[in-house]
Amino acid sequence: MIDVLRFTSSAAYALANGARSIAPCATLDEARAYAPGALLAGERLGVRPEGFDLGNSPLEFTHDVVQGRDIAWSTTNGTQALSFLVPHPIPRPFASTSSPFRDVLLASYVNLSAVTLLLAPRVEGDATVAIVCAGRDGGFALEDAACAGALVRRLRNAVGDRLTMNDGARACACIDEAYGEDFARLFRDAQHGRFLGEHGFGADLPACAALDAVRVVPRWDGGRFVAG
């Protein structure tokens, strides 16, 4: 799943900086109820919710803040999309913590090579890979589609003709071809990139554009994301 601005980028930084786990929560109340002692992270309309320890900025998840900590995280777009892919994070009697998918990974520009290395052998083995873009407010997000296209391009370079694409993957590949690694232009053109810049989060954009800054891939494991 991809949410470039900013959840999957920030999640990769958090785990790379030593966070123990991330529990994606669809609502703020779910995050508050997750576990005593967990850090509360997230945003609504870009802003940190009242009473939360952290927002959704990748610059907040530093080693001294997150080392060894579990994080309950709720965002406007990213964790909402995950609610369709993974089970409810709060333990319930007889409830499964498994996903119907073999693996659920979080991808962004900051860990793109690491994600490609994990997925390429599976594509070579004829596995089906679904790339889910979180989007914005239930709609399309240019930056997520561009990142999905970059992942498709890298997988195609890695496995060649073993990769087959549907129309959505081809469309994302075209968007990636149009922007390449010109992330400044991509984020200027993207509605959410402009929103962040206009609301005081412009410093987050270079952090989300730091290609292959980390080698960690957040991977679903028994009710939470851990470093994979």
Domain positions in the chain are 7-227
Q: Structure tokens of 124?
A: 């070579």
What digits encode the pLDDT tens for the residues 194-221?
A: 999 999 999 999 999 999 999 999 999 9
Q: What is the per-residue pLDDT for 90?
A: 55
The alpha carbons of the chain give a radius of gyration, in whole angstroms, of: 17
pLDDT at 92 over 60: no
The CA-atom distances, in angstroms, between 14 and each of 54, 81, 161 are: 11, 19, 35
Please give the CATH number for the structural domain made up of 7-227: 3.90.1560.10
Of 83, 84, 89, 71, nearest to 20 by C-alpha is: 71
Q: What is the per-residue pLDDT for 91?
A: 53
N- to C-terminal Cα distance for the chain? 14
Say whether 71 sits in a helix, a strand or coil: strand
CA 89, CA 34: separation in Å to the nearest integer? 7
Question: With bands split at pLDDT 50, 70 and 90, how would you rate the model's confidence at 34?
Answer: very high
What digits encode the pLDDT tens for the residues 38-63?
A: 999 999 999 999 999 999 999 999 99
CA 117, CA 162: separation in Å to the nearest integer? 15
pLDDT at 93 over 50: no
What digits encode the pLDDT tens for the residues 114-141?
A: 999 999 999 999 999 999 999 999 999 9
Question: Could you check whether the bond before residue 215 is cis, i.e. omega within 30 degrees of 0?
Answer: no
Contact call for residues 218 and 19 (beta carbons, < 8 A): no
Q: Structure tokens of 91?
A: 């333990």
- When mean pLDDT is compared across 13-22, 75-84, 175-184, the lowest value belongs to 75-84
Q: What is the per-residue pLDDT for 86?
A: 86
22's enclosing H/E stretch is strand 21-24
Of 103, 72, 116, nearest to 215 by C-alpha is: 116
